[in-house]
Structure 1
């Protein structure tokens, strides 16, 4: 049994609870999907029990996130935990398919939104449109990106931003340089 210590913050339980809630799942729904008891799941969400790697794989599959999203990375110093995310300690998220590399900028998933650093590799694209029950705003930091929202394609440049409110979208970077964007997504999906 493991308890949170102030000098070693554990946010896995909080992240799992936030992901569960963002998917509209109750403790009972999640426990049933995992084949585990509600009591065990409650302890995991409160960081009292630590799930095994097999459990993490089951959580990832049920919540539709990558297993790497659930792994703990370098812990922040106690005075920064929950407030600061250093560039070298960002958590990779998403599946990194189609040339997209995403990192979580938010300290955890307990807010009503999440911030994501996205790098779209040159000549990459997502084939099928994505539609999710979120509101999202993207801001282009560098490079250029084509973003198709509700069937209309827009070429966005550094300093440009765009909004998606549940519409089907897809992206492409047909250019020779990577495109970097900052995304704010509500509610958290990773």
Structure 2
């Protein structure tokens, strides 16, 4: 019987909220340099200030998901690829254990986004907490699944607007334009599972 490989990722120590931000900043800086882009070029492409991107790369500034999306697009990658470490070749039969004491390097505007997979996987589960506005339309190649853990979320998919309560879920394919919000004054906890795109 073949051995099963247990793959674990070092998580930030409790009380060290900057370590996740430093790791994310280091991945952004390494990818930017591998693309041959200067800090100014990358910041311009991402529609961010040079000074802000510099702080992000040094791990002293926490990113919103919207800003991370713009940085990922400027660098020719995805949010989840930047949020998860490259573990190299994936062992057959391996699995990953997530330890919940880690701090999030990004937020959703009013609350943290907890990344539940720290290595490149075929999908990336995340927990969004807080209240949200629907100012930003999202459209990406990855497929996405949403499950409401607590509260209520209003999901807008093209022209359709659907209210989801705790226990409800929705799934949409890549390329579908969407956004979501919480009712005024309300908060929620939502499990979002995004497909991870892998280069061939």
TM-score (norm 2): 0.54
Label 1:91 to 1:188 Cα distance change in 2 as closer, same or farther (>3 A): farther
Q: Post-superposition shift, 1:158? A: 0.8
- Counterpart of 1:83 in 2: which secondary structure? strand
Tell me which residue corresponds to 2:16. none
**Could you tell me how far 1:106 is from its partner in structure 2?**
0.9
Structure 2 counterpart of 1:147: 155
1:120 aligned onto 2:130 = yes
Alignment check: 8 A CA contact 2:126 2:192 kept = yes
Match of 1:96 in 2: 108
Gaps of 5+ in 1: 1-6, 21-26, 36-52, 72-81
Is 1:32 the equivalent of 2:44?
A: no
Distance in 2, matches of 1:137 and 1:115, equals 9
Find 2:181's aligned residue among 160, 172, 177.
172
Structure 2 spans left out of the alignment, 5+ residues: 1-7, 12-22, 40-52, 59-67, 86-94
- Once residues 57 and 163 of structure 2 are traced to their aligned partners in structure 1, the CA distance between those partners, rounded to angstroms, is 37
Contact 1:84 1:107 in 2 (8 A): no
Cα–Cα, structure 1 residues 54 and 92, in superposed 2: closer, same or farther, change >3 Å? Answer: closer
Specify the SS of the correspondent of 2:126: strand
- Aligned residue-pair number: 139
Cα offset for 1:127? 0.6
Q: How far apart are residue 146 of structure 1 and its match?
A: 0.2
Tell me, what secondary structure is at the counterpart of 2:96? coil
- Measured in 2, the distance between the counterparts of 1:8 and 1:163 equals 28
Cα distance in structure 2, aligned partners of 1:188 and 1:141:
26
The Cα shift of 1:34 comes to: 5.1
SS of the residue corresponding to residue 37 of structure 2 reads helix
